[in-house]
């Protein structure tokens, strides 16, 4: 992170040297702005770019932009640069670790990384229940990824807003602090702002897909059983899943293939696709801009030859009580009632309201909710037969101003509505992708594609076909943030 001394020196220099100020505020180009991960890898191996130069550029962008964006809460500059130099040395000597070698990444502050703090977005001392570094981070390291640091999360990943900790600034608007979603908002903002090549989050009720939609990037929620959750501070072992943020489905597919060894099929023709459009919940109470943009996207897919059929899924009506019975109940088991009682004043107000309420639930509520979740998963899986997947808005809303949600009840209401369409997929154990779209006014919107659990390779193949029809969202002008 930028030291307080460095900031004081920087500010002092700016007072006396306007030319130096202009130079210091010149934003280094994002080395991944026009390169896919595969293209970067090809250039790296041809020595047209180095891991150290790419990492340095991103770290310099973090130094300049993070004071406003608040995407990172910890930046491992020295360790990242040392890792980048080691990657360059290995490549020079003929060692190739694979497609992600030399790729600088950011990880949410639920992933444990040796040598970096893990706070889970909380002021509580949770070191005694924080696991050791686990499979996902180890896989990144084995693949030669360079970990730039830890990104912000809402406390224990409960929702998208915190009052005690900064809510990252959505890069879609340099003037208005708009909602970035959550809980993996730091990772989404870092990706959208060009502070990393890709980023990792977690998704228990939409914590990857929601911020991806509101920040205008691709968010891939892995199947809950698609990758080991060891080494990640848990929220709900039943519904937790890993996820990634990228600029394109091609990058998401490369990451998934490299980390899991599972090949993503080539994108099919739109004329081969048959999607379901659920009639319950998903399309209710949409912001007008969301409704218009999603309708236009579905029309474009139909014109390209895709079939989109209305489907009735009455089981969707049960998602809210099942989700509400599992997630806070499992977090109480993880934290322990004694810790909660002794430290309840340290909780952020949003998390506190949900966790304290869960301590009063009858013990059978959690067990009943988990049993019903398993039944719903199997019922819905059967109903997906004959369909490639579901299409729906990722969230009913565009990113509104944070200033509209600065007290408890508006924040809780926003959280429930914002995550409504994504929580459904977690309850049904689906994998999902949010593809970025834009409204007529330029605000981000997400189109969600959902498939049955453990169908991630199929999901990414479908998403590539949809992306080819709808195109990619434009990148925000980050120079406006200086």
Q: Which CATH number covers residue 224?
A: 3.90.1300.10
Q: What is the Cα–Cα distance from 313 to 391, expressed in whole angstroms?
A: 13
- DSSP structure string for 49-98: S-HHHHHHHHHHHHHHHHHHH--EEEE-HHHHHHHHHHHHHHHHTT----
Q: What is the Cα–Cα distance from 372 to 369, expressed in whole angstroms?
A: 5
In a domain, 175, yes or no: yes
Q: Please, which contacts does 339-348 make with residues 24 or more away whose CB atoms are closer than 8 Å? A: 339/124, 343/124, 343/125, 346/122, 346/123, 346/124, 347/122, 347/123, 347/124, 347/155, 348/122, 348/123, 348/154, 348/155, 348/162, 348/163, 348/164, 348/165
Task: Answer whether residue 15 shows pLDDT above 70.
Answer: no
**In which residue are the tokens 């309708």 written?**
295
Which of these, 371, 376, 344, lies nearest to 360 by C-alpha position? 344
For residue 106, count other CB atoms closer than 10 A to its CB.
27
Whole-number average pLDDT of the chain: 94
Task: Answer whether residue 430 shows pLDDT above 70.
Answer: yes
Q: What pTM was computed for the model? A: 0.94
What is the chain's percent helix, strand, coil content, to nearest 5?
Answer: 50, 15, 40
- Count of domains in the chain? 1
On the CB side of 204, how many CA atoms lie within 13 Å of its CA? 28
Question: What is the pLDDT averaged over residues 463-473?
Answer: 96
Question: What are phi and psi for residue 345, nearest 5 degrees?
Answer: -75, -15
pLDDT of residue 344: 84
Q: What is the Cα–Cα distance from 178 to 398, expressed in whole angstroms?
A: 9
Task: Answer whether residue 12 shows pLDDT above 70.
Answer: no
Q: What is the Cα–Cα distance from 226 to 259, expressed in whole angstroms?
A: 11
Question: What is the pLDDT averaged over residues 143-166?
Answer: 95
Task: Answer whether residue 10 shows pLDDT above 80.
Answer: no
% of residues, the chain, pLDDT over 90: 92
pLDDT of residue 160: 86
In a domain, 9, yes or no: no
pLDDT of residue 363: 86
Which of these, 404, 403, 395, 482, lies nearest to 444 by C-alpha position? 395
Residue 448, token pair as written in the block: 């969600």
Question: What are phi and psi for residue 146, nearest 5 degrees?
Answer: -110, 115
In a domain, 334, yes or no: yes
In a domain, 18, yes or no: no
- Which residues 6+ apart lie within 8 Å of 426 measured at CB? 203, 204, 205, 206, 224, 239, 241, 323
% of residues, the chain, pLDDT over 70: 95
Question: What is the pLDDT averaged over residues 75-81?
Answer: 98
In a domain, 280, yes or no: yes
Q: Are 376 and 318 in contact (CB under 8 A)?
A: yes
With cut-offs at 50, 70 and 90, classify the pLDDT of residue 25: low
pLDDT of residue 473: 81
Give me the active site residues, please: 108, 183, 207
For residue 374, count other CB atoms closer than 10 A to its CB.
12
Which of these, 87, 104, 307, 74, lies nearest to 199 by C-alpha position? 104
Task: Answer whether residue 431 shows pLDDT above 80.
Answer: yes
Question: What is the pLDDT averaged over residues 427-434?
Answer: 98
In a domain, 290, yes or no: yes
Distances (CA, A) of 90 to 40, 74, 444: 17, 27, 40
In a domain, 17, yes or no: no
With cut-offs at 50, 70 and 90, classify the pLDDT of residue 339: very high
pLDDT of residue 13: 41
Q: What is the Cα–Cα distance from 321 to 9, expressed in whole angstroms?
A: 54
Say how many Å lie between the first and final Cα of the chain, rounded.
18
The parent domain of residue 80 ranges over 25-481
pLDDT of residue 159: 84
Task: Answer whether residue 24 shows pLDDT above 90.
Answer: no
Q: What is the Cα–Cα distance from 233 to 224, expressed in whole angstroms?
A: 15
Q: What is the pLDDT of residues 283-319, one digit of tens each?
A: 999 999 999 999 999 999 999 999 999 999 999 999 9
Task: Answer whether residue 354 shows pLDDT above 50.
Answer: yes
In a domain, 420, yes or no: yes
């Amino acid at each position: 992170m930028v030291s307080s001394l460095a900031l004081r020196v920087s500010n002092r220099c700016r007072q006396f040297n306007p030319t130096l100020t202009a130079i210091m505020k010149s934003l280094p180009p994002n080395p991944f702005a026009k390169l896919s991960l595969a293209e970067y890898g090809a250039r790296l191996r041809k020595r047209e770019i180095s891991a150290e130069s790419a990492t340095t550029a991103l770290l310099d962008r973090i130094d300049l932009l993070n004071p406003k964006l608040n995407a990172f809460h910890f930046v491992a500059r020295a360790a990242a640069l040392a890792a980048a130099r080691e990657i360059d040395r290995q490549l020079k000597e003929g060692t190739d670790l694979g497609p992600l070698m030399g790729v600088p990444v950011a990880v949410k502050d639920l992933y444990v990384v040796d040598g970096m703090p893990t706070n889970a977005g909380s002021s509580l001392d949770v070191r005694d229940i924080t696991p050791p570094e686990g499979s996902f981070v180890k896989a990144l390291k084995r693949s030669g990824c360079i970990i730039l640091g830890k990104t912000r999360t809402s406390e224990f990943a409960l929702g998208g807003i915190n009052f005690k900790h900064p809510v990252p600034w959505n890069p879609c608007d340099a003037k208005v602090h708009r909602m970035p979603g959550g809980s993996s908002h730091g990772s989404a903002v870092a990706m959208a702002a060009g502070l990393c090549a890709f980023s990792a989050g977690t998704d228990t009720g939409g914590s990857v897909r929601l911020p991806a939609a509101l920040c205008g990037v691709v968010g891939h929620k892995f199947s809950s059983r698609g990758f080991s959750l060891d080494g990640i501070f848990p929220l709900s072992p039943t519904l937790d899943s890993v996820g990634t943020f990228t600029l394109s489905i091609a990058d998401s597919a490369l990451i998934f293939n490299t980390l899991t060894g599972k090949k993503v099929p080539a994108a099919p023709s739109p004329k081969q696709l048959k999607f379901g459009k659920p009639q319950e919940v998903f399309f209710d109470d949409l912001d007008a801009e969301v409704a218009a943009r999603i309708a236009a996207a579905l029309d474009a897919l139909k014109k390209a030859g895709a079939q989109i059929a209305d489907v009735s899924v009455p089981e969707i009506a049960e998602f809210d009580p099942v989700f509400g019975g599992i997630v806070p109940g499992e977090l109480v088991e993880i934290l322990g009632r004694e810790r909660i009682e002794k430290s309840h004043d340290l909780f952020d107000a949003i998390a506190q309201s949900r966790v304290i309420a869960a301590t009063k639930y009858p013990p059978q509520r959690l067990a009943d909710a988990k049993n019903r979740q398993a039944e719903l998963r199997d019922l819905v899986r059967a109903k997906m037969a004959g369909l490639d997947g579901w299409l729906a808005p990722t969230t009913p809303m565009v990113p509104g101003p944070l200033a509209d949600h600065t007290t408890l009840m508006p924040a809780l209401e926003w959280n429930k509505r914002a995550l409504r369409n994504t929580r459904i997929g977690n309850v049904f154990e689906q994998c999902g992708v949010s593809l970025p779209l834009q409204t007529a006014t330029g605000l981000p919107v997400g189109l969600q594609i959902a498939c049955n659990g453990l169908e991630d390779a199929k999901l990414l193949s479908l998403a590539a076909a949809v992306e080819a029809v709808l195109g990619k969202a434009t990148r925000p002008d980050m120079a406006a943030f200086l």
